A = this chain, B = another copy of it.
Amino acid sequence: MDKRKAKDLLSEEVARIGKAVSSPKRLELLELLAQGEKTVDALAAEAGIDIKLASAHLKVLKAARLVVAERDGRFIAYRLSGEDVSALWVKLRTVAEEHLVELKVAMDGIFSAPEKLDAETRRSLMSKARRGDVVVIDVRPAAEYDNGHLPFARSMPLDEIRQRIKELPADKDIVAYCRGPFCMMSAEAVALLQEHGYRAQKIADGTAEWQAAGLPLTTA
């Protein structure tokens, strides 16, 4: 029967996407690229791998059309080929979080307070932020903030908080977010702020999670 061959062909094509997301390193690259366009250089440095290896992995992602490359002067910038790729990364991660006990255990060991958000919490956070009852800070590097951020959030990169801490109101609740549930920057920011007497907490959402929940981002 020829139906078999047709079906195999279709499954094989989808498996190209599956293969692309079957490597830990590539998933980390996707998470980074979900924050915006980045050079091979920057990706390798942030993922803690050799540039050659990063290049090889990016080639695989490109072959699966999950990312596109564009030369920008001497550098080559990679970016996700669409919003749906970011959503796929979120879906993979949430399925893993839901079903893999090992991942739950690992996360409990790394993050003291998970702070997962549901639709209602997200909504109430936004109305509080709109009224100014809480200050939402984006602790990622400024370039990532510029690429898109939560509504009403202000940029306060982790490595600038020490110097700029005076800019934050001491009498208000501060909510920090970063790249998502696997990112440790918001936790560090919260620790730093609490040391200085601020009422700070983190949320697990990053821009990818926010967008996957159907909520809009602000692109400055």
How many chain copies? Answer: 2
In the complex, A11 has a CB within 8 A of chain B: yes
In the complex, A59 has a CB within 8 A of chain B: no
Tell me whether A19 and B16 are in contact in the complex, defined as CB-CB below 8 angstroms, given that A28-B11, A87-B91, A100-B65 are known contacts.
Answer: no
Contact of A18 among B12, B23, B81, B107 (CB under 8 A): B23
The contact size tier of chain A is 35 or more
In the complex, A52 has a CB within 8 A of chain B: no
Dominant secondary structure of chain A at its interface with chain B: helix
Encode A76-106 as 1/0 by CB contact (under 8 A) with B: 0000011011011001111110111111001
Contact of A22 among B7, B18, B24, B182 (CB under 8 A): B18
Q: Are B10's CB and A92's CB within 8 A?
A: no
Q: Are A7's CB and B28's CB within 8 A?
A: yes
Which B residues lie within 8 Å of A82 (CB)?
95, 98-99
Bound Cα distance A104, B47 (Å): 33
Which B residues lie within 8 Å of A12 (CB)?
24
Contact of A84 among B6, B11, B28, B98 (CB under 8 A): B98
Q: Are B100's CB and A17's CB within 8 A?
A: yes
